[in-house]
Chain A
Amino acid sequence: GIQVEQSPPDLILQEGANSTLRCNFSDSVNNLQWFHQNPWGQLINLFYIPSGTKQNGRLSATTVATERYSLLYISSSQTTDSGVYFCAVHNNNDMRFGAGTRLTVKP
């Protein structure tokens, strides 16, 4: 199956800093999503982005499908951004997740 690798595994930031999270995948995919898992375990859909660039407030994402990677940018980070960020890719039914990046934003 498709392998999904995320980096870095852990990231600690001071409030207000910017960051870039990376997702590499081993094969062509039809769909790619970024999720944020809050401390209570809820997975929140951030972006559906199989290709191109999207922005939503302080977050933006870029997927370069031909090179099999996606980037999630967080600008002016806030403590509420803390949690685990997952990249998930799928063709048809089987969505595969990376191991996630655990982000801690300190006040």
Chain B
Amino acid sequence: GAGVSQTPSNKVTEKGKYVELRCDPISGHTALYWYRQSLGQGPEFLIYFQGTGAADDSGLPNDRFFAVRPEGSVSTLKIQRTERGDSAMYLCASSDSSGNTIYFGEGSWLTVV
């Protein structure tokens, strides 16, 4: 597609529920990133994919968070047993193989009540 697409744009869920957030990167981009942004702060790195594999998942806060990219294109960020502290905007970005310029989607706002 023309840009990075994220769905849903907004998600309200109850504490303890499971959530999936989807990212569709720019066509042909091999690198895909997930970030989390809380109010008043800069985006915080979660995980980076190069192709299908997670090249760096050091930013995932705990084992409730998991992300996949099975065919090297669309990625899904999965959060188990959600907590109120997980409420944030989750941003996805992609770049070509050079990694020089990274393009962000519009984000998915997650609210855990």
Contacts and interface: CB of A to CB of B under 8 A. Distances in A.
Interface of A: 4, 31, 33, 35, 40-45, 48, 86, 88, 90, 92-100
Nearest to B50: A93
Interface of B: 31, 33, 35, 37, 41-45, 48, 50, 55-56, 58-59, 89, 91, 93, 99-104, 106-107, 109
B107 A31 contact: no
Closest 7 CB pairs of A and B: A97-B42, A43-B104, A93-B48, A93-B56, A48-B101, A97-B43, A41-B107
B101 A41 contact: no
B109 A41 contact: yes
Majority secondary structure of chain B interface residues (helix, strand, loop or mixed): strand
Nearest to B48: A93
Contacts, number: 59
Given A41-B107, A42-B106, A42-B107, A94 B100 contact: no
B22 to A, nearest CB: 17
A45 B56 contact: no
A44 to B, nearest CB: 8
B29 to A, nearest CB: 13
B80 to A, nearest CB: 24
